Structure 1
Amino acid sequence: MIANNCTNIHFFSVTILSYIIGSIPFAVLTSIFLGLEDPRNFGSKNPGATNMLRTGNKIAAIITLLGDMIKGFIAIKITTIIYGINCPKLMGLSIVFVVLGHMYPVFANFRGGKGIATFFGILSAINPLSSVFYAISWIIISYIWKYSSMSSIVTVVIAITYYFIDYKTGNTDREILISIMVVGILLIYKHKKNIKKLINGTENSINF
């Protein structure tokens, strides 16, 4: 392990690797493989699992969801395996840049998704047990109110609150909390149009 030697080259390598992993456009690749329309051309124009579900192809939506989650999970795990857990700044960089890669992917003309599935993957890598709670929260909220965007925003706020409490009780590093908060702000920002639609009562609902 080289966890205690957090040098500039380590910061650079984690940043680039996490961004590249995040840039893999699973929604676009799945559409090509299954002969579906590019998700950036219909519905919300968001290359994510929810918009893929609008094609009526649940398999495509599931593949996209799992792929986007795996990106977040793998980026964090690779950072942990290579650099250990004693340099939280590297972990924080990985968290932020894998999400930025998903939102602005170099492999898809910088037209990416909103990052919720990738965020769940990150949380699963950091704390598998708590991630189950977030997933259940998302499902319950979605089932009751039928809005994916509302479920996502509320779950992000829950996650930020959890890590803030965890930090205050000494169970989470400051760098991890800051990165979770930064990503949370980015995620909510990417949902700004959805928030306006929710307020106006014009948001698209989802059916299970």
Structure 2
Amino acid sequence: MFLHFPLSLLLIPLAYCIGSISFAVVVSKCMRLPDPHSYGSGNPGATNVLRTGNKLAAVLTLIGDALKGFVAVMAARMILGDASLTSTTESWILCAVVMAVFLGHLFPVFHGFKGGKGVATACGILFGVNWILGLATLCTWVIVATFMRYSSLAALAAASFGPIYFVFLFGFQPMALALLAVCLLLMWRHRGNIRNLMNGTESRIGSNQDPKNKAPQ
């Protein structure tokens, strides 16, 4: 452990601040696009930004939201040392970092606590914890999305399997609890999508969006 215990706790608020950077808002401002809170679903995420018709902005949003999760967790792992994935004090701090960066995305202090649903950030977190874990979860998303054609269902399935994959790879470590909490929060943020899936009204990948949901030009 490279930092003394009190100093290592500073990683938690730092992770929250990193998570609070909403790349949907930042990219939209830089590219002179409408505020993503003002159109479509109102969700500051890549899918909503795509409604502007600007694919580059959506891709940059996706990459940025994923990278902040990856950077926060990976930096904490490097600082805390190899013991951060086992049942040690460092592991609980890393768990808190995971929760902090994810909560930062959901409730960003820099953007009026109006955040996104957390899919890209959760993916970045998983890759930060372990690249095999991240890849397995990403493959789950791709498989479900390819065959079912529902992005939200793919996200829910991938989030559900994330903690399971972790336990399979590392056993019952504290991080499994943190990833389970991320999974439950992601599901809560998708509660509207879950209702739509149950009602058969959820939009499929590649389907035309309702014109009233498009961004103003």
**Structure-1-length-normalised TM-score:** 0.90
Give the aligned partner of residue 112 of structure 2: 109
- Deviations for 1:62-103, whole angstroms, at most 9, x for unmatched residues? 101100010011101221222223210111011111000000
- Deviations for 1:166-207, whole angstroms, at most 9, x for unmatched residues? 3xxxx2462111111111111111111110011111112221
Aligned equivalents of 1:205, 1:36: Cα separation in 2: 25
Asked if structure 2 preserves the Cα contact closer than 8 Å seen for 1:18 and 1:98, the reply is yes
Q: Quick check: 1:35 aligned with 2:38?
A: no
Give the aligned partner of residue 154 of structure 2: 151
Which shows bigger deviation, 86-95 or 131-140? 131-140
Aligned equivalents of 2:171, 2:98: Cα separation in 1: 14
Asked if structure 2 preserves the Cα contact closer than 8 Å seen for 1:44 and 1:51, the reply is yes
- Deviations for 1:106-131, whole angstroms, at most 9, x for unmatched residues? 11100000111111101111111231
- Deviations for 1:19-67, whole angstroms, at most 9, x for unmatched residues? 0000001001111111211111222211111212222211111101100
Aligned equivalents of 1:6, 1:76: Cα separation in 2: 17
Unaligned runs of 5+ in 2: 84-89, 208-217
Asked if structure 2 preserves the Cα contact closer than 8 Å seen for 1:6 and 1:90, the reply is no
Aligned equivalents of 1:103, 1:117: Cα separation in 2: 12
5 Å-filtered alignment, 1:110-125, equals: 110-125=113-128
Give the aligned partner of residue 197 of structure 2: 198
Equivalent position amino acid for 1:10 in 2? S
Aligned length: 201
Aligned equivalents of 1:101, 1:172: Cα separation in 2: 27
Aligned equivalents of 1:77, 1:109: Cα separation in 2: 27
Aligned equivalents of 2:28, 2:205: Cα separation in 1: 20
Asked if structure 1 preserves the Cα contact closer than 8 Å seen for 2:136 and 2:165, the reply is no
Aligned equivalents of 2:50, 2:139: Cα separation in 1: 19
Equivalent position amino acid for 2:42 in 1? K
Aligned equivalents of 1:114, 1:199: Cα separation in 2: 19
Give the aligned partner of residue 133 of structure 1: 136
Asked if structure 2 preserves the Cα contact closer than 8 Å seen for 1:50 and 1:148, the reply is no
Asked if structure 2 preserves the Cα contact closer than 8 Å seen for 1:88 and 1:173, the reply is no
Asked if structure 1 preserves the Cα contact closer than 8 Å seen for 2:36 and 2:49, the reply is yes
**Structure-2-length-normalised TM-score:** 0.86
Aligned equivalents of 1:200, 1:37: Cα separation in 2: 31
Unaligned runs of 5+ in 1: none
Give the aligned partner of residue 10 of structure 1: 8
Aligned equivalents of 1:70, 1:58: Cα separation in 2: 18
Sequence identity of aligned pairs in percent? 38
